[in-house]
Amino acid sequence: MSHNATAMANPGPLGLLGFGMTTVLLNLHNAGLIPLSIMIVAMGIALGGLAQIIAGIRELCQGNTFGGTAFTAYGLFWWSLVIIWTNPFEGIESADHVAMGWYLLLWGVFTLFMFIGTLKHNKATQVVFGSLTILFFLLAAGDFTGNHMITTIAGVEGIFCGLSAIYASMGQILNAEYGKTVLPLGE
């Protein structure tokens, strides 16, 4: 009796794409290039949130604790950020800059530990998590100090971070499609 093995698709590129595209858009705002609008909120809910959560659950089902934790957590980050921005709960105080500083600082600490985990991964993944760690700490510093220049610098750094995730996503897709290295990931 023969069994046809069903190949499991790699959910990583979807998660990286969701993270990368949404991160670029938000940081275009942080850099002062575009206003915060429904476009960023919608991307945060859909591609930043839902797509990453789906990718994370798929990673967990395939036994990848690192990828599953990363994508699910950052997908839920996007949903929580949208809830913070829109504050749909009557009677609950909106988050001020100090509260947002603590929120972003905690995400920075989590991301720093995830970055340490990437030291066993390819260079592209290390760049994504390393630049994301810097981004969270810069954004936290901008909120804690109220210094808009720090947030603007964070925005530029965040655009780089998001583009690095898009590159990693496309590298995984194209390298798998062509069966060879089209975009080097620093294996």
Q: Alpha-carbon distance 120 to 111, whole Å?
A: 15
With tokens 């829109």, the residue in question is 86
What is the per-residue pLDDT across 74-89, written as a single tens digit (0 to 9) for each?
Answer: 999 999 999 999 999 9
The pLDDT of residue 2 is 46
pLDDT given for residue 1 in this prediction: 45
Q: Where are the domains of the chain?
A: 13-86+94-173
What is the SS3 assignment for 95-137?
A: CCHHHHHHHHHHHHHHHHHHHHHHCCCCHHHHHHHHHHHHHHH
pTM above 0.75, yes or no: yes
**What pLDDT sits at residue 10?**
97
Residues 28/34, Cβ–Cβ less than 8 Å? yes
Q: Cα 185 vs. chain centroid, distance in angstroms?
A: 18
Q: What is the pLDDT of residue 4?
A: 52
| Regions of the chain short of the pLDDT cut 50 | 1-2
pLDDT at 149: 98
